[in-house]
Amino acid sequence: MSEAAKADTPFVTAAEEKVAAATQLQLTWWRFRKHRVAVISGIVVIFFYLMALFADFLAVTGPHSTDAARSYIPPQAIHWFDQDGSFKPHVYALKGRRDMRTFKLVYAPDPSDRRYLKLFAEGYSYTFLGLFETNRHLLGLDRGVPEDALFLLGTDQLGRDVWSRLMLATRTSLSIGLIGVALSLFLGILLGGVSGLYGGVIDTAIQRLIEILRSIPTIPLWMGLAAALPSDWSVTQVYIAITVIISLIGWTELARVVRGRFLALREEDFVTAAELAGASRLRIIFRHMVPSFLSHIIAAVSLALPAMIISETTLSFLGLGLRPPAISWGVLLQDAQNLQAIAIAPWLLLVAVPVVIVILAFNFLGDGLRDAADPYG
C-alpha cells in the first residue's frame, strides 16, 4: 500500500500523517538517525573536518621548522597534576646530555624544569582561515617557545614536530578527497546520467568503458601517470594533478549508481505521470528524478571518499603523489617506510591512527546512508 493511500484512510495518527507528508530527504534523515554507529561515525567525520579547518590553530610549532639536534625525540608524557596535587598540566623540558660512549647528544626529560601548558598561547604566526594573521594556538607553554619543549607526538628525523605536521597533513589529505570526489561526481553524474537516460548504443559504449577501466589494476596505472608529472611543478600544481589522476578512475562506481537509479526511475509511475502532464525533460530530471535519488548519491559519495583518501595516501607513501614540502598523511608515512625507521622511531606509525579512524568512519557513515537512502524499503 502506498503512502498516499494510507494518508487517505480516515484513521491515521499524527505520526503517520507526518511520515506521509515528509519529503524524501526527511525520511532518509529519520531513518539514518536510528543507525547508531553511522551517526557516531558522522560526528567523527565532522570532527576531523573541523580539525582540518583549524589545523594551524591546533598545531603547536611551525610544521617546517627543523632542528637536526632534536631528531627522533619520543612522544612526551603530559603530567596532569602539580606536586601539591593541584590541576596544572605540564611537561618536563628536555635537557641535552652528551653520551660519553657514542658522543651523541641525547635528550632526557628534566623533572626540575617544568613547563606549564597554556591555552590560546602565542606561537608561530599563520593566517587564520585565510582571513587574518595571528599567532594564537590552542596549546602552548607558559615560558620558552614550544619548538624547544613541546613534542606531543615526538619528532621525526629532521626534528620536526609530528603532532603539528599531522594536523596540517589532515587538512591536505581530507581536502584532496573532497575535491577528487567532486570531480568524480561530476564525471559520474554526467556519464552515468547520459547512459541511463538515453540507453541504447551510448549506454552500451559507456558501460563497456566502465568495465574496461575497472579491469585495469589501478595502482600501476596511477604510478605511471603520477611519475610523469614534471618534477619542477609547484606543490599546488602537483596537488591538482594528483586529484585529477585519482578521480579519472574513481568516477566509474558513481556512474554505475547514477545509471542504475536512472534506469529504475525511468519506469516509475510518477515519471510517466509527469511526462503525460507535459513536463519538459529537464523538469522531470531535476524536479522529480534527482530528489528521489539524491540520498543514493550522498551515500555513494561517502563510500567513494575513503577510497580517494587511501589512493592519495598510497601514492604519496610511494613517493609518487604529493612531494615534500607538501604535507599529507602519505608524505608523513613515507618517513616510516622501512623497518629501520620504525625500529628507531615507532611513534612515526601513530600517523596511521587517524588514517584508519577516518576511513572506518566514512565506511560506517556510507553504509548507514545507503541503508537510509531507501526509506520505503
Sites of contact with other proteins (CB under 8 A): 208, 211-212, 214-221, 223-225, 227-228, 230, 306, 310, 313-314, 317-320, 333, 336-337, 339, 342-343, 346, 349, 352, 355-356, 359-360, 363-364
In whole angstroms, how close is the CB of 93 to other proteins at the nearest point?
A: 29
In whole angstroms, how close is the CB of 306 to other proteins at the nearest point?
A: 7
Which of 60, 320 has the CB closer to other proteins? 320
Max CA pair span of the chain: 92
In whole angstroms, how close is the CB of 7 to other proteins at the nearest point?
A: 31
Which of 10, 220 has the CB closer to other proteins? 220
For residue 117, give the nearest of 85, 81, 83 by alpha carbon: 81
Amino acid symbol at 333: L
Which of 175, 207 has the CB closer to other proteins? 207
Which of 12, 341 has the CB closer to other proteins? 341
Instruction: Quote the Cα angle for 370-54-247, to 5°.
Output: 45
Which of 31, 256 has the CB closer to other proteins? 256
Dihedral (Cα; 311, 317, 318, 321), 10-degree rounding = 60
Rg (CA), the chain: 26
Which of 74, 319 has the CB closer to other proteins? 319
C-alpha cell at 327: 604535507
Phi-psi region for residue 326, left (φ > 0), alpha (ψ -120 to 50) or beta? Answer: beta
In whole angstroms, how close is the CB of 249 to other proteins at the nearest point?
A: 10
Classify strands 79-81 and 87-98 as parallel, antiparallel or unpaired: antiparallel
CA–CA dist 34, 60 (Å, integer):
39
In whole angstroms, how close is the CB of 296 to other proteins at the nearest point?
A: 18
In whole angstroms, how close is the CB of 156 to other proteins at the nearest point?
A: 15
